[in-house]
Structure 1
Amino acid sequence: MKREELYREIGLIDENLIDAAGQIGIKKRKKIIFKKWAVLVACLVLYSSIATVLLAKDYINNQNSEPYIRYLTAESMDLQPITHYDAEKFLKALKSDNNEYVYIAINRLVESFNDQKMREKVLKEIQPFVESENKKIADAAAFAVDILSKTYESPYIVKSADGSIIFTLFNNYSDYGSQNVLWRIKDNVLEEFLNFDTPSMYITKIIPSPDHKLIAIVTCSNKSEFVQIYDAEERMISPELVESARVKYGAQQELDTWIRTDHENYSYVNNIVWSDNDTLEFEGSLQYENLAIIKNVTVAYQFDKEVIEVKELNEAK
């Protein structure tokens, strides 16, 4: 029993005095507790201030580190605000202390190709960045110089049978791949001629057929891979082959094949090769029933006949 309760029981103290004494005790305890919390809060504020300064210092130091971009959007590539293409804006961005801006500007300045006077100016401004200590910027500059100087020796370009040059910009800007837009230079004119929608967020490979009349384009998201064949001369494109293979094999094996509304297939490809000028072959890892079932297959697609053949990997061997 508490002392106040004992006093009440034996009637040795007035009720009002007990209440008053209790309030004094509470105030004293509150004051002591407040002092303790005040000291703790002061320590936390000091710690937070020091941490903030250190983080700010680290952020400033990292401004000159290699730029990391997970996924390019139209807004980020335009370096806000969004307007028509403005080469002067990107030339100005080359002088920025922000490496991400510099990297974006170098890639976007390739779009100056069709304006000879601007192309020569851009080429002169980008050239020094080839020697940059930042590898991503140096690689981007080397590629831009290769295109703008019309050298066309970069391993990132594909030369088509009709004489056109096919490539992506922002090569390997992400861990997943390059920008999901194909560019073409034909008859000395640059054009954006094939743009992929989500979930094909990155281009990972461009593989020409032996006669260079067709190209296989491998794209991906962070969950899936996709393959299509494109005839640049005729501007004809195949169906998406990974999902086509998944649906066909699922029907053959009587597996439930759900086509997701976001068009992700959660499937992957490997060993992509042209067996002849018209037939593309690859190995695929196809998922069914929310990854409960994984089937490894080989896929062969004949572009001209629009015929796809899917076999179990062990059976094919």
Structure 2
Amino acid sequence: MKREDLYKEIGLIDEELIAAAEHSGVRGRGRRHRFSKRWIALVACLVVYSSTSTVLLATEYTRNKTEESYIRYLTAEDMELAPRAQYEADKFLKALASGNDDKVYIAVNRLVESFNDPKARELALQKLRPFLTSASAKIAESAAFATDILSKSYQSPYLHKMADGSIVFALFNNYSDYGTQNVLWRIKGDVLEPYFSFAAPSMYIKEILPSPDRKLLAVVTSSNKSEFVQILNVEKGTISPELVESARIRHGAQRKLETWTRSDHENYSYANHLVWQDNDTLAFESSLAYDDTAIIEEVSVTYRFRDKVMEVADLK
């Protein structure tokens, strides 16, 4: 209600309110207890106005609460307010003609993702052919690898053929001194899919080593500071704990060394000379860091995947 409307309202009900006040004894005895007619009317009007507003606000609040949406879980796509971009072969085909070696190298690798579309796959094979003899060794090797997959030859040593008939590999082989792209791809039932990505701080896949029976896959990943080892059962989709940090904690407890886990999960430790002792037991050597890198312990590690048993010993 506007101020001028309130004053008009006061004028209309002034005498009625005063009469009511006199009847109820509001106008007490003595000068100091007397109230002006307009003051009494103003108070009464404000009470009416306030009560009406409170009811309206309460009604609006209740209505909003009943209409409020319910969100149980927010996905990454939800929070971006847009679906993720789908693979589009055309932009990678155009990049092949860019003359920029970096763009060409990326496009050559990404064209492997044309695998599931027969027409796109044939076109990609045709466009990749000139790059098999590129002056850039990195581009030529990538073009040969992409061609091997898209033609379904499967002869590259970078392809790991598993017991369940699937083929596992990483793209962007050796693009960095630290390793390849941090994604394992799988072809199974003639369908290509991204199979597994490793959590931060892993940025690169350094080494992939199948067990002798081809049922398990040991994978070494790395950041710029640390290395990590995990074992995957590709068929069942199970994975071991991270073995380098596990060994660091176990060995630190044995030697009574202070072993702090960093919030960024870097361990400043390394794994070398991975070998499968049998179909279930992986062995490797590891340099374990303590007190950042003030203390370095050289150890041998064995891990039995099925039993989840680890042994750590000083390296002799």
User: Normalising to structure 1: TM-score of the pair?
Assistant: 0.73
Residue of structure 2 in register with 1:194 after alignment: 196
Alignment of 1:250-265 (within 5 A): 250-265=252-267
Residue of structure 2 in register with 1:151 after alignment: 153
Residue identity (%): 63
Inter-partner Cα distance in structure 2 for 1:175 and 1:290:
23
Residue of structure 1 in register with 2:209 after alignment: 207
| Counterpart pick for 2:187 among 185, 188, 198 | 185
Inter-partner Cα distance in structure 2 for 1:93 and 1:123:
15
Write the deviation string for residues 79-132 of structure 1: whole angstroms up to 9, x where unpaired: xxx832110111011100111110000101100100011101111111110011
Inter-partner Cα distance in structure 1 for 2:156 and 2:86:
28
2:294 aligned with 1:304, yes or no? Answer: no
AA aligned opposite 2:297:
K
Aligned pairs, how many?
233
Alignment of 1:1-317 (within 5 A): 83-314=85-316
Q: CA deviation at 1:289?
A: 1.1
AA aligned opposite 2:125:
L
Write the deviation string for residues 36-56 of structure 1: whole angstroms up to 9, x where unpaired: xxxxxxxxxxxxxxxxxxxxx
Q: CA deviation at 1:196?
A: 1.4
Inter-partner Cα distance in structure 1 for 2:310 and 2:207:
21
| Aligned-partner SS, 2:298 | strand
Q: CA deviation at 1:197?
A: 2.4
Q: Which runs of 4+ in 1 moved over 2 A?
A: none
Write the deviation string for residues 186-228 of structure 1: whole angstroms up to 9, x where unpaired: 0100000101122110001100000010000000011101000
AA aligned opposite 1:188:
D
Residue of structure 1 in register with 2:71 after alignment: none
Inter-partner Cα distance in structure 2 for 1:116 and 1:285:
47
| Aligned-partner SS, 2:168 | strand
| Aligned-partner SS, 2:272 | strand
Inter-partner Cα distance in structure 2 for 1:269 and 1:83:
36
Inter-partner Cα distance in structure 1 for 2:175 and 2:125:
21
Q: CA deviation at 1:269?
A: 1.1
| Aligned-partner SS, 2:92 | helix
Q: CA deviation at 1:270?
A: 1.1
AA aligned opposite 2:285:
E
Inter-partner Cα distance in structure 2 for 1:269 and 1:195:
19
Q: Which runs of 5+ in 1 are unaligned?
A: 1-81
AA aligned opposite 1:153:
Q
| Aligned-partner SS, 1:89 | helix
> How well do the aligned residues superpose, as a CA RMSD in angstroms?
0.8
* 226-235 or 189-198: bigger deviation: 189-198
Q: Could you say which structure has the larger radius of gyration?
A: 2
Inter-partner Cα distance in structure 2 for 1:290 and 1:137:
38
| Aligned-partner SS, 1:262 | coil
Inter-partner Cα distance in structure 2 for 1:269 and 1:168:
20
Inter-partner Cα distance in structure 2 for 1:83 and 1:162:
31
| Aligned-partner SS, 2:266 | coil
Inter-partner Cα distance in structure 1 for 2:85 and 2:219:
30
Inter-partner Cα distance in structure 1 for 2:97 and 2:211:
41
